[in-house]
């Protein structure tokens, strides 16, 4: 192993932060690390919104299932997939931009995820903790209004950043043979592997610090897939210019 791999393997979500602020130079360095991420077709289809307004922070808490650490984290960033900028560039050069294609949406969304993960790795290497906030998509229209996002831009997720005030255990991940397959998708052995993993996860939840519970991974997936998953997203994306044609 090496320090970079050790850092990646030690990842965990942090939901309690100290009052120590993140210096502007460090924050800009983290954003620059994000910019260094790969970008399909060099689109760079990302805009980061830094939310410092306390009232807006509180509104994000409310729309994201009352996750209070959005308000208390030293920094809260919202990563947006942004096709508005390349569209403006196309028009600037007299072109007629094609809009609403699913491939464009995928590229911008993947760009946002890659960008954010670079920021996260850089942040953790500097001793910071992070927590992704996917729940801002509970009400993406309200999030869009809060951030004054134009058409062809949408909020993908939020990110809390700060110095950790807790030391949670990393969550155990699925067994490697389940995740890594060779040449063809063969799931014939997965049931036994997942059952064994379920017990690992159940033990982790029962013994973890702060919030013990009794649930396996496959039970979590049952809960997740037995209910609607933000059905409003399709109409919202269409209204924002992401028509998926």
Residue-wise pLDDT tens digits, 87-126: 999 999 999 999 889 999 999 999 999 999 999 999 999 9
Instruction: Give the relative orientation of helices 217-225 and 190-207 as an angle to the nearest 10 degrees.
Output: 100
C-alpha–C-alpha distance, residues 181 and 69, integer Å: 38
Supply the pLDDT for residue 55: 98
- pLDDT the model gives residue 213: 78
The predicted pLDDT at position 108 comes to: 97
Would residue 225 count as lying in a domain? no
Note whether 233 and 105 are within 8 A (CB): no
pLDDT computed for residue 241 by the predictor: 94
The answer to whether position 182 is within a domain reads no
**102 within a domain of the structure (yes/no):** yes
What is the gyration radius of the CA atoms in the chain, in angstroms?
Answer: 20
For residue 176, tell me if it sits in a domain: no
pTM for the complete prediction? 0.95
Q: How many domains does the chain have?
A: 1
CATH number at residue 11: 3.40.109.10
Considering the domain boundaries, does residue 201 fall inside one?
no
In which region does residue 210 sit, left (phi positive, over 0), alpha (psi from -120 to 50) or beta (all else)?
left
User: Which residues of 10-141 form beta strands (DSSP E)?
Assistant: 46-50, 75-82, 129-133
Q: Is 212 within a domain?
A: no
pLDDT < 70 positions in the chain? 209-210
39 is in which domain, residue-wise? 3-171+231-239
What b/e readout covers 215-240, taking b as 16+ CB neighbours within 10 angstroms? ebbeeeeeeeeeeeeeeeeeebbeeb
Residue 53: the pLDDT is: 98
CA distance 236 to 225: 21
Residue 214: its pLDDT value, please? 83
Length of the chain: 245
3-state class (DSSP) for residue 168? coil
Q: Are 130 and 161 in contact (CB under 8 A)?
A: yes
Q: How many CB atoms lie within 10 A of CB 179?
A: 8
């Amino acid at each position: 192993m090496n320090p970079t791999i050790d850092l990646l393997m030690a990842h965990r979500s942090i939901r309690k932060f100290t009052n120590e602020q993140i210096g502007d130079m460090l924050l800009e360095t983290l954003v620059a690390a994000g910019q260094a991420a790969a970008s399909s077709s060099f689109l760079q289809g990302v805009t980061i919104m830094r939310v410092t307004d306390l009232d807006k922070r509180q509104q994000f808490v409310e729309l994201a299932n009352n996750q209070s650490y959005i308000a208390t984290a030293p920094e809260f960033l919202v990563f947006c997939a942004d096709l508005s900028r390349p569209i403006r560039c196309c028009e600037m050069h007299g072109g007629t931009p094609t809009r609403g294609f699913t491939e464009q949406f995928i590229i911008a969304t993947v760009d946002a995820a890659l960008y954010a993960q670079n920021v996260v790795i850089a942040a953790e290497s500097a001793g910071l903790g992070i927590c992704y906030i996917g729940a801002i998509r509970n009400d993406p229209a309200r999030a869009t209004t809060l951030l004054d996002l134009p058409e062809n831009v949408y909020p993908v997720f939020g990110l809390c950043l700060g110095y950790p005030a807790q030391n949670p255990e990393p969550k155990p991940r699925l067994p490697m043979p389940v995740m890594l397959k060779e040449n063809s998708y063969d799931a014939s052995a997965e049931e036994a592997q997942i059952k064994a993993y379920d017990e690992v996860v159940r033990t982790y939840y029962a013994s973890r610090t702060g919030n013990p519970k009794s649930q396996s991974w496959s039970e979590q997936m049952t809960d997740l897939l037995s209910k609607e998953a933000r059905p409003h997203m399709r109409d919202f994306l269409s209204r924002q210019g992401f028509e998926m044609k």
